[in-house]
A and B are shown apart, each in its own frame.
Chain A
Amino acid sequence: MVFSSWRPIKQAMERAGFMKFWIFIPLIFLTLFFPFFLSQYWLHVMIISLFYVMMASSWNLIAGYTGQISFAHAAFAGVGAYVSGMLAVNMGIPAWLGILIGTSIAGLLGLGLGYLCIRMGGIYLSLTTLGFSEILRIIITNEDRWTRGTMGLQIPGFFIEYSKMSYYFLFLIVSVFFLWVIYRLIHSEMGLSFRAVLNDELAASSSGIDTIRVRILAFTISSAMAGMAGGLYGHYLMLITPDIPSLGQMFLVLAMAVIGGMGSFIGPILGAFILEILSEYIRIYGEYHVLLFGLVALGMARFAPEGIMGLLEKRWRLRKIS
């Protein structure tokens, strides 16, 4: 199944022109062999980056491709983490099953939330998702008898024996799966309607596209993905806290998509890796990485809304012309 998409990917890359296909071979090779030469510390950074790849790409699906700015993405990750975690701790449910259940619940909540406020337009969606995110965090924080609130809940890992390499490959496989799903979606007929809706909603709806249904579907898929990412994240850290469904995490995801390039496929992937690795370096000096990313994201949104990908594309195009 993956290989049937291989050629279109290759064609798309070559069409885009800015990344030669053969650059990717060493990159893929590296990615597969990271666990064998990276230290435990850097492997950990890679795993966290992959988590953010999942989050940023799935957020980009609704924000970049359908123009709906949801602030509940981190909250859905929290749903996945806490549902799966609490099921594991209280009922001994294995992690893989718990994560699937968490994903479904996140998806359902996304469906409900989407249905409620997508009809009303962008501002309402943003406000409601903001409210939903904060309320979820408050509930998780206060119901400490079940969730242990800010004290944190220790949950079992995904694998019985702890091995960073296993987690790395798990995250890698799921990330690639997400990216594949997203790629198929945006290049499908439905994907065309996403972009039609984004570019001109009036025209889209007059040509018969049920814009509301399209957006609700995208929102549901995106929330489910966030739920799965959150579940995996929780079982990797083996400690979940209300920091996961927080606006601070939401901001990081948003910044990664914006800086990487909203509405592009590779943008969020780039943004996730760059920001996560950078924050490790900056943390040596103190907790300034959030402020720095905020300023960069602000600058990008203001002056270069297509993000790094947009800038790269422009430079490549200019070079091709001259």
Chain B
Amino acid sequence: MRRVAFLVVLVMSFIIGSLAFAQETIKIGVVGPRTGPAAATGKAFEEGIAIALDHINAKGGVLGKKLEVVFEDTGGVPEKAASAFEKLATRDRVPIVVGESHSSSALAEIEVANRYKVPFIICEAWHDDITKKNYRWVFRAGPVNSGVVDFYIAPFVKENGFKKVAIVRENSDWGVGIAERTEFNMKNFGLPFVTLKVERESKDFYTELTKLKGENPDIILAYIYGTGLHFFVAQAHEVGVTPKALILDGAGPPSLWDSFWKNVGKAGELELFMSSMHEKVHLTPTSRKFWEDYKKKFGKDPSDYKTRSIYNVVLIAADAINRARSTTNEALVEALEKTNLEVTTGIVKFGLKVGSYEYHQWMPPMLVVQWQDQKQVVVFPKEAATGGLKRGK
């Protein structure tokens, strides 16, 4: 008899657990790597989210209710990412999900978003296909591989007169995508280049660097995301490829993590990296407000630009819910398509051209930054530059 009672209690708790409670808050979902090799990005997301929630709730929240965030961990791998998104859609039943910093994870998540018809705004996964697939529920307010290469990396290489390009790319969706676009551009310029593949999560690049040395490049475009980049930069110095050649970190954040200088030592001098944030470059008042409030809250300058990326998309989501005056998915998509919102990197307007990666895409301006004496100096584009490019010998 006791056993039956126990079973009944068990079943009842299942049923109760699956019912939704009435909320006095509105929760949106965030996906990102809280554990794993890119956990530093997860940390950056947490900081950005905190500031976004402060700003939004100070202005009255969303639809008169307080805004909260459920941040699910993707571990940086697609199977966990898909599972995280599914949890947000089915367990937490959030009206909208934002975030992500890995292209492979994002490509898995957009399928789940499509299946459950949950709007999804991506901030830092760059692969073209994410928006090229033209899924109605998927938006991106962040860089896209083709944009980053066509408007920043390729012109940077051309305008600074580099003669021989080396592309080193990891075998991830992002790495393969951005490398292909770079090759396309280099071919158009008629610049000689050589491409080398490395394993994702690799730590030993001696074989590849030895091959590179023989090719004599003067600029190395390193499409490696994670601490692997640190080892690449350090080992390039050991092997003697740098400082004669310059290395450009095609992603950016690894060059900004705390562990960067610990792992690369003096090899970090003159390293270039992509970024969308610099203390002297404030494109909008929101950007300045973000910088100041970050300093007040965390006691230091923001260093990882992904804190701003996630801040932006949380703002966009809240804005869409407010304008739609609803949390239903159709209403949100319609509202998102009409977005005209000032964020830290400009004014967000999503593209509507079907058939290309520009559909539901908005790309913020980016910067090429160089470490000079352990300080960040913007060297491209010229309009935003805070200093000149330094070469090695």
Chain A residues in the interface with B (C-beta under 8 A):
20, 23, 26-27, 30, 37-42, 44, 142, 144, 149-152, 154, 162, 237-239, 241, 243, 286-287
Contact indicator A26/B172 (Cβ below 8 Å): no
A239 proximity list for chain B (CB < 8 A): 78-79, 82, 108, 111
If over half of A's interface residues share one DSSP class (helix, strand or loop), that class is named, otherwise mixed; here it is helix
Most buried by B among A23, A150, A151: A151
Contact of B4 among A23, A152, A286 (CB under 8 A): A23
Bound-complex Cα distance A154 to B3 (A):
44
User: What number of B residues sit within 8 Å (CB to CB) of A?
Assistant: 30
Contact indicator A152/B115 (Cβ below 8 Å): no
Mark out the residues of chain B between 173 and 229 whose CB falls within 8 Å of any chain A CB in the assembled complex: 173, 199-200
Contact indicator A38/B79 (Cβ below 8 Å): no
Contact indicator B111/A41 (Cβ below 8 Å): no
B11 proximity list for chain A (CB < 8 A): 30
| B197 to A, closest residue via Cβ | A144
Contact of B78 among A20, A41, A241 (CB under 8 A): A241
Contact of B18 among A39, A150, A241 (CB under 8 A): A39
Contact of B172 among A23, A151, A237 (CB under 8 A): A151
Contact indicator A23/B111 (Cβ below 8 Å): no
Expressed in whole angstroms, the minimum distance between the Cβ of B255 and any Cβ of chain A is 23
A-B contact pairs, 29 of them (CB 8 A): A20-B3, A23-B3, A26-B4, A38-B14, A39-B18, A39-B19, A39-B90, A41-B18, A41-B86, A42-B18, A44-B86, A44-B90, A142-B199, A149-B171, A150-B78, A150-B104, A150-B200, A151-B171, A152-B77, A152-B107, A152-B108, A154-B107, A154-B108, A162-B115, A238-B111, A239-B108, A239-B111, A243-B77, A287-B35
B382 proximity list for chain A (CB < 8 A): none
| A154 to B, closest residue via Cβ | B111
Contact indicator A150/B111 (Cβ below 8 Å): no
| B103 to A, closest residue via Cβ | A151
Answer yes or no: B91 CB below 8 A from chain A CBs.
yes
| A243 to B, closest residue via Cβ | B79
Mask, B5-30, CB within 8 Å of A = 1, is 00100010011011100000000000
A286 proximity list for chain B (CB < 8 A): 35
Say whether, besides A23-B4, A150-B172, A239-B82, A41 and B104 are in contact (CB < 8 Å): no
Contact indicator A37/B111 (Cβ below 8 Å): no
B353 proximity list for chain A (CB < 8 A): none
Contact indicator A151/B104 (Cβ below 8 Å): yes
Say whether, besides A152-B78, A239-B111, A23 and B104 are in contact (CB < 8 Å): no
Expressed in whole angstroms, the minimum distance between the Cβ of A31 and any Cβ of chain B is 11
A237 proximity list for chain B (CB < 8 A): 79, 82
Say whether, besides A23-B7, A37-B15, A243-B77, A144 and B104 are in contact (CB < 8 Å): no
If over half of B's interface residues share one DSSP class (helix, strand or loop), that class is named, otherwise mixed; here it is helix
Known: A40-B90, A237-B82. 7 other contacts (CB 8 A): A37-B18, A149-B171, A150-B200, A154-B108, A239-B111, A287-B35, A287-B73
A150 proximity list for chain B (CB < 8 A): 77-78, 104, 172, 200
| B34 to A, closest residue via Cβ | A286
B295 proximity list for chain A (CB < 8 A): none
Bound-complex Cα distance A176 to B45 (A):
45
Contact indicator A152/B171 (Cβ below 8 Å): no
Bound-complex Cα distance A60 to B105 (A):
34
Contact of B91 among A41, A149, A162 (CB under 8 A): A41
Expressed in whole angstroms, the minimum distance between the Cβ of A214 and any Cβ of chain B is 37
Contact indicator A151/B78 (Cβ below 8 Å): yes
Bound-complex Cα distance A177 to B350 (A):
51
B107 proximity list for chain A (CB < 8 A): 151-152, 154
Expressed in whole angstroms, the minimum distance between the Cβ of B17 and any Cβ of chain A is 7
Expressed in whole angstroms, the minimum distance between the Cβ of B150 and any Cβ of chain A is 23
Expressed in whole angstroms, the minimum distance between the Cβ of A198 and any Cβ of chain B is 31
| B87 to A, closest residue via Cβ | A41
Expressed in whole angstroms, the minimum distance between the Cβ of B103 and any Cβ of chain A is 8
| A240 to B, closest residue via Cβ | B79
Contact indicator A27/B111 (Cβ below 8 Å): no
B77 proximity list for chain A (CB < 8 A): 150, 152, 241, 243
Bound-complex Cα distance A39 to B107 (A):
26
B19 proximity list for chain A (CB < 8 A): 39
Expressed in whole angstroms, the minimum distance between the Cβ of A295 and any Cβ of chain B is 19
Bound-complex Cα distance A37 to B35 (A):
34
Bound-complex Cα distance A40 to B44 (A):
32
B4 proximity list for chain A (CB < 8 A): 23, 26
A37 proximity list for chain B (CB < 8 A): 15, 18
Expressed in whole angstroms, the minimum distance between the Cβ of B141 and any Cβ of chain A is 23
A152 proximity list for chain B (CB < 8 A): 77-79, 104, 107-108
Mark out the residues of chain B between 67 and 86 whose CB falls within 8 Å of any chain A CB in the assembled complex: 73, 75, 77-79, 82, 86
Bound-complex Cα distance A22 to B200 (A):
55
| B109 to A, closest residue via Cβ | A239
| B20 to A, closest residue via Cβ | A39
